[in-house]
Chain A
């Protein structure tokens, strides 16, 4: 298999143990390029751990993770991380840097300067006013901050976008709008996206493929349609029940 047509990500029998705790167990999985994958599961199911083995914020105890055909363990760490966009719940904007400086940080680390036109473009991509570029993060709302977080993740033209509960701290309206926007960017920029969420509704509405995790293992690997149709087994269906039930009650209310 050449690097050209290798899948975006391959997990080969990945395991992660903390002492006796098994956070990940025998995860084997391929994610083709261009796919939008949601990792769903209860807290402690291992979904965040699995995501972080990709950009090596966590190193697996066994097995290997391939990114576009290359073993991530063999790649120089800073270079690997700069090729992968990363968005996470606490956002982590650098409070002492302006919005523009935050967005430009990845390229800056690689010794490049990001043109202000590019920063403007990135702000537009996440539907922010380019005038915000010179603001400091503490002058922004939570939703605006996470949009900057997404813009920062996209600044270095990554092929892969990793998102760890990206909308968890946002209010529902912002959350919905930003989710839609990220899905649209995924299409426009031809990204491969892996999103960790505990919200099954979000996963069903945004992703092409939903992976359900339980106790460190993948217990379901289905399309949203198949899950809604009742496939994927017990754990997955328990998660699907919640939004389905909510939808039914809402439908009843409107009668």
Chain B
């Protein structure tokens, strides 16, 4: 229980960010929904169109809605210019505000529609203007209903805001995704408890305001509003009261253990050199690369094969050094991203099986799998079957399976152990390969490209000599055994290390 308490206490920063994001999204939702509701009350057509739109938005899964704002904002850069952020706060805010729209709008429209017609006639009869009718009659009578809508929106938004982690916005989703990654249930639980408590608190406060409106008790309304303002103000102070934000080095990490550890390793090194750092964890693969190109993040670790196939859309493979040179040239010409160098290990995709299965079925290479594996089930992470690497391997060997299943990277290994999958798309630097006694099938046709881990810097960060100097010692410093051990130290079931601790030990072992 001590671990849980510590994990909860460590969430201050995420909590503040979560509060600000949710509050901003709800405020924006209100700012859009209320005028729309007033307009809708004057026009049946507008009412129908607005409600249909809001309901439609609601049917989009929150995660997808968040993800969609990345390409939308990216294309809007053509209009607004390069300063427009495509990751982090802005897309999260927009997506969540859209999500918050429906309950507020629906309740406001319903409240208007249910207004006693006698009251409307009286308002007209006593000579109220449009404005007076709105302010003196409609607003106060609709207020409790609108407040109930805001309350619902708040609970939804606070819950959905945990997903903002995936597009690089700090939130209480950080510990949830990080914990899910490494089966660190204490972290997951801490994130859930924190966001659920926040939702309950918001629900209670807004419920108090709603009751104040309903029972016409001004004390409740003002008290509730002031408490909400206090909370948001506190979060604002916690986020921005601590001084300059601009000079921080933003370190990106994709959503798996190795990335979290390497981000910490980089962060610890930079902090020791006197830099202030900030982490953007859990980014999608394509998102991370674009984020570095646009300067949303300053530094992160990627893999040559990933850039080769996903960003450069190459389907051939080259020898290791030639590939590295080609990528470096492509980045210089297309994104301005600076490749600082290889870290010294490879984290390739490979197809892994349990040793017993491989031995008994005499599976040695992917070709064997193509010949005798048609009845098997293959598991992969959610990206795997969409990736060009998989398609290349599949087509190179003519692979066919009975079933394809997606697992989060963590559960994939469990699935292999429990027999839910017979073969998985694994990562060669994963500590669980050794620990679980897995075999990586040989790739005689070289269909999987090379996956050297490389250190990438955004164009701006690449010009920062001090930063480059601080990071250069990492080049060629980490071998695959060291990386596997570090990965395993956070992935194993028992005696897990935190990312920070694993990064410290890795640095020590690598002599950094």
Question: Which of A78, A94, A96 sits near B127, CB closer than 8 Å?
Answer: A78
Q: A94-B137, A95-B116, A96-B140 are in contact. Are A152 and B126 (CB under 8 A)?
A: yes
| Residue in B122, B124, B137, B216 whose Cβ sees the most chain A Cβ within 10 Å | B122
Question: Which of B119, B120, B122, B132 sits near A109, CB closer than 8 Å?
Answer: B132
Number of interface residues of B (CB under 8 A): 20
Question: Which of A57, A90, A91, A109 sits near B128, CB closer than 8 Å?
Answer: A109
Interface residues of B in 170-207 (CB under 8 A from A): none
A1 to B132, CA, bound (A): 36
A78 & B129 in contact (Cβ 8 Å cutoff): yes
Tell me the smallest distance from the CB of B138 to a CB of chain A, in Å: 10
Interface residues of A in 44-77 (CB under 8 A from B): 55, 57, 77
A94 & B119 in contact (Cβ 8 Å cutoff): yes
A55 to B124, CA, bound (A): 10
- Contacting residues, chain B, for A152 (C-beta < 8 A): 126
B127 & A57 in contact (Cβ 8 Å cutoff): no
- Contacting residues, chain B, for A86 (C-beta < 8 A): 125-126
Tell me the smallest distance from the CB of A49 to a CB of chain B, in Å: 14
| Residue in A90, A91, A94, A106 whose Cβ sees the most chain B Cβ within 10 Å | A94
Tell me the smallest distance from the CB of A167 to a CB of chain B, in Å: 15
B141 & A81 in contact (Cβ 8 Å cutoff): no
A231 to B118, CA, bound (A): 37
Contact with B along A91-113 (1 / 0, CB 8 A): 11111100000000110010000
Question: Which of A77, A80, A82, A94 sits near B122, CB closer than 8 Å?
Answer: A94
Q: A95-B141, A96-B140 are in contact. Are A81 and B118 (CB under 8 A)?
A: no
- Contacting residues, chain B, for A36 (C-beta < 8 A): none
Question: Which of B116, B140, B141 sits near A92, CB closer than 8 Å?
Answer: B116
Which A residue sits closest to B127, measured CB to CB? Answer: A81
- Contacting residues, chain B, for A80 (C-beta < 8 A): 127
B126 & A57 in contact (Cβ 8 Å cutoff): no
A57 & B121 in contact (Cβ 8 Å cutoff): yes
Interface residues of A in 81-139 (CB under 8 A from B): 81-82, 86, 88, 90-96, 105-106, 109
A88 & B116 in contact (Cβ 8 Å cutoff): no
Which B residue sits closest to A155, measured CB to CB? Answer: B126
- Contacting residues, chain A, for B119 (C-beta < 8 A): 92-95
- Contacting residues, chain A, for B216 (C-beta < 8 A): 96
- Contacting residues, chain B, for A78 (C-beta < 8 A): 127-129
A92 & B125 in contact (Cβ 8 Å cutoff): yes
Tell me the smallest distance from the CB of B12 to a CB of chain A, in Å: 41
25 A/B residue pairs, CB under 8 Å, sorted by A:
A78-B128, A78-B129, A81-B124, A81-B125, A81-B126, A81-B127, A82-B126, A82-B127, A86-B125, A88-B121, A88-B125, A90-B117, A90-B121, A92-B116, A92-B118, A92-B119, A92-B120, A92-B122, A94-B123, A94-B136, A95-B116, A96-B216, A105-B126, A105-B136, A152-B126
Interface residues of chain B, those whose CB is within 8 Å of chain A, are 116-129, 132, 136-137, 140-141, 216
10 closest residue pairs by CB, A with B: A92-B122, A81-B127, A90-B118, A92-B118, A86-B125, A78-B127, A82-B127, A96-B140, A106-B126, A92-B119
